[in-house]
Amino acid sequence: MALKATIFKVQLQVSDMDRGYYGSHALTVARHPSETDERMMMRVLAFALFAGEALEFGRGLSTDDEADLLERDATGQILRWIDVGLPDERDIRKACARAHEVTVIAYGRTVQSWWDRNRGKLETLENLAVLALPPDSTAVLAGLAARGMEMQCTIQDELVWITSGNSTLEVEPIRLKTSRAA
- pLDDT tens track for 85-106: 999 999 999 999 999 999 999 9
For 98, list phi and psi in degrees, rounded to 5.
-95, -25
Where residue 63 falls among pLDDT bands split at 50, 70, 90?
Answer: low
Evaluate whether residue 1 is within a structural domain.
no
Helices (DSSP H) in 37-152: which residue ranges? 37-49, 89-98, 111-122, 135-143
What DSSP string describes 62-75?
A: TSTT--SEEEE-TT
Residue 116 burial (10 A CB sphere; 0-12, 13-18, 19+): exposed
Evaluate whether residue 125 is within a structural domain.
yes
Q: How many CB atoms lie within 10 A of CB 66?
A: 16
Where residue 64 falls among pLDDT bands split at 50, 70, 90?
Answer: low
Where residue 1 falls among pLDDT bands split at 50, 70, 90?
Answer: low
CATH of the domain at 98: 3.10.640.10
- pLDDT for position 77: 94
Evaluate whether residue 76 is within a structural domain.
yes
- pLDDT for position 18: 96
User: Per-residue pLDDT for 28 more than 90?
Assistant: yes
Could you tell me if 111 and 136 are in contact, meaning their C-beta atoms sit under 8 angstroms apart?
no
Where residue 3 falls among pLDDT bands split at 50, 70, 90?
Answer: confident
Measured distance CA(47)–CA(18) in Å, rounded: 15
How many domains would you assign to the chain? 1
What is the rounded average pLDDT of the residues 42-62? 89
Measured distance CA(166)–CA(168) in Å, rounded: 7
Partners of 150 in the β-ladder: 11
Evaluate whether residue 87 is within a structural domain.
yes
User: Per-residue pLDDT for 66 more than 90?
Assistant: no
Evaluate whether residue 182 is within a structural domain.
no
Range of the domain at 157: 6-177
What is the rounded average pLDDT of the residues 149-175? 95
The enclosing H or E element of 101 equals: strand 99-106
